[in-house]
């Protein structure tokens, strides 16, 4: 098994799978790979967890991918295209590729499944699998019970991944709804920023619940318009991930919203973070996707305006509350 990306999620999955499989972990920086091999710890992410001695890291994609039948892509969404373009020539023809990336490509507004299909071509398209759901990397690494969804249009490959990476504390469910799983995983980060802003403004629990619920409605509205199964948004990759990311203290996107609500500038907030908050990039792409398809996303649009600095958080809340009254099902 090869794991691309030595951030928190890539590291935790490599650590998990190395107990049962021969795993190679790709790190972009050679010094990170060297430190993992020398100290059996990732110096940058989850550094308090000891990694299995059998887990080997490298900054050489060819070395990590050679002979690997299962490859996990766990790099930030803005790096997926370039990393997988570099990896494509080293992938085994029959390899299953699993993406754990939760985002939308900013320039193209493409989901990660669309990016991977475009980059890897028809040879690998049937075996592209997408993992999502309520899953903080630290809790998986700490062997806390976690359930996720793995999606593939050819469900037999999702089932294969399900069997390969499930453990006593990580339970995988399979589905064929790639579109729903991808959009649920990406757009819940936007909702989490919105909830964080409300919490930073100290608007109360009513506001938090309202934004989460209406945020889920936005996700479902866009998702079903693009062909997703609405039931997916009631599952792990939908409401499950939404609840976790909007309320969990380990949520990077919620943290961004909290600090914005407290009045801190965006660049200052991001500069203090060691990891990527995917929702910041995804917000703009989601709003553009909504405009292209004529799907209304009022919460996402307000988050975008706050991130761009054109609207202050308190003003955005007032605008949302003063919108025209309508049916809840709209």
Strand-strand pairing, 128-132 and 146-151? antiparallel
Are residues 90 and 197 both part of a single domain? no
> Residue 83: CA atoms inside 13 Å, Cβ hemisphere, count?
25
Of 146, 163, 178, the domain-final residue: 178
Structural domain contains residue 312: yes
Which are the contacts of 149, defined by CB distance < 8 A and separation ≥ 6?
131, 132, 133, 172, 173, 174, 175, 181, 235, 236, 237
Distance from chain centroid for Cα 234: 17
Are residues 146 and 201 both part of a single domain? no
**How many Å apart are CA 285 and CA 282, to the nearest integer?**
5
The per-residue pLDDT for 274 is: 84
Task: List the structure tokens of 131.
Answer: 């993992």
**How many Å apart are CA 289 and CA 218, to the nearest integer?**
12
Are residues 86 and 203 both part of a single domain? no
Structural domain contains residue 328: no
The per-residue pLDDT for 22 is: 94
Are residues 112 and 192 both part of a single domain? no
| Mean pLDDT in residue range 107-136 | 96
Domain housing 128: 2-178
- Catalytic residue numbers, as ranges: 188
**How many Å apart are CA 176 and CA 216, to the nearest integer?**
21
Are residues 27 and 65 both part of a single domain? yes
**How many Å apart are CA 180 and CA 176, to the nearest integer?**
9
pTM as predicted: 0.96
- Whose structure tokens read 């899953």? 135
Are residues 30 and 64 both part of a single domain? yes
Which are the contacts of 114, defined by CB distance < 8 A and separation ≥ 6?
none
Are residues 295 and 189 both part of a single domain? yes
Of 178, 209, 243, the domain-final residue: 178
Residue 174 phi, psi (nearest 5): -105, 155
Residue 330 has pLDDT above 90, yes or no: no
| Mean pLDDT in residue range 119-129 | 95
CB 137 within 8 Å of CB 46:
yes
Residue 162 has pLDDT above 90, yes or no: yes
| Mean pLDDT in residue range 256-282 | 94
Distance from chain centroid for Cα 80: 12
Are residues 7 and 134 both part of a single domain? yes
3-state SS, 130-170, equals EEECCCCHHHHHCCCCEEEEEECCCHHHHHHHHHHHCCCCE
Task: List the structure tokens of 40.
Answer: 């059996």
Structural domain contains residue 162: yes
| Mean pLDDT in residue range 216-241 | 98
Q: What is the pLDDT of residues 60-93, one digit of tens each?
A: 999 999 999 999 999 999 999 999 999 999 999 9
Are residues 268 and 287 both part of a single domain? yes
Task: List the structure tokens of 43.
Answer: 């110096």
**How many Å apart are CA 330 and CA 327, to the nearest integer?**
6
CB 126 within 8 Å of CB 134:
no
Which runs of consecutive H residues, i.e. helices, occur in the chain? 8-17, 30-39, 61-65, 80-87, 112-120, 137-141, 155-165, 178-200, 205-225, 241-247, 252-261, 266-271, 278-293, 298-308, 313-321
Q: How many domains does the chain have?
A: 2
Of 128, 153, 178, the domain-final residue: 178
Task: List the structure tokens of 23.
Answer: 């795993």
| Mean pLDDT in residue range 301-309 | 97
H or E segment to which residue 71 belongs? strand 70-73
Nearest to 46 by CA among 250, 254, 256, 242: 250
**Could you tell me the CATH number of the domain that includes residue 96?**
3.40.50.720
pLDDT band at 329; cut points 50, 70, 90: confident
**Could you tell me the CATH number of the domain that includes residue 264?**
1.10.1040.10
> Helix (H, G, I), strand (E, B), or coil: what is residue 234?
helix
Residue 276 has pLDDT above 90, yes or no: no
Are residues 148 and 173 both part of a single domain? yes
Structural domain contains residue 193: yes
Burial group, residue 210, by CB count within 10 angstroms (0-12, 13-18, 19+): middle
Are residues 185 and 307 both part of a single domain? yes
Vertex 286, ends 274 and 109: CA angle to 5°?
90
Are residues 185 and 164 both part of a single domain? no
């Amino acid at each position: 098994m090869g794991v691309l990306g030595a951030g928190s999620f890539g590291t935790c999955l490599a650590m998990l799978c190395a107990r049962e499989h021969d795993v190679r972990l790709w790190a972009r920086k050679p010094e990170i790979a060297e430190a993992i091999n020398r100290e059996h710890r990732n110096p940058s992410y989850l550094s308090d967890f000891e990694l299995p001695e059998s887990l080997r890291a490298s900054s050489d994609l060819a070395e990590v991918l050679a002979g690997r039948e299962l490859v996990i892509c766990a790099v930030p969404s803005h790096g997926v295209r370039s990393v997988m373009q570099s990896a494509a020539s080293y992938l085994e023809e029959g390899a299953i590729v699993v993406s754990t990336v939760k985002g939308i490509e900013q320039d193209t507004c493409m989901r990660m499944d669309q990016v991977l299909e475009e980059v890897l071509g028809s040879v690998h398209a049937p075996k592209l699998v997408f993992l999502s759901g309520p899953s903080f990397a630290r809790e998986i690494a700490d062997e806390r019970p976690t359930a996720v969804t793995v999606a593939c249009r050819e469900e037999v490959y999702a089932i294969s991944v399900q069997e390969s990476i499930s453990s006593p504390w990580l339970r995988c469910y399979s589905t064929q709804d790639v579109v729903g799983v991808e959009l649920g995983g990406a757009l819940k980060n936007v909702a989490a920023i919105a909830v964080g802003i409300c919490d930073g403004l100290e608007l109360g629990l009513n506001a938090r619940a309202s934004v989460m619920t209406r945020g889920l409605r936005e996700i479902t509205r866009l998702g079903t318009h693009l062909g997703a199964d609405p039931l997916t948004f009631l599952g792990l990759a939908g409401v499950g991930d939404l609840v976790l990311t909007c309320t969990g203290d380990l949520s990077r996107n919620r943290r961004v919203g909290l600090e914005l609500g407290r009045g801190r500038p965006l660049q200052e907030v991001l500069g203090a973070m060691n990891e990527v908050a995917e929702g910041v990039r995804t917000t703009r792409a989601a709003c553009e996707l909504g405009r292209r398809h004529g799907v209304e996303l009022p919460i996402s649009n307000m988050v975008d305006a706050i991130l761009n600095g054109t609207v202050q958080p308190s003003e955005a809340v007032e605008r949302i509350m003063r919108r025209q009254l309508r049916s809840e099902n709209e």
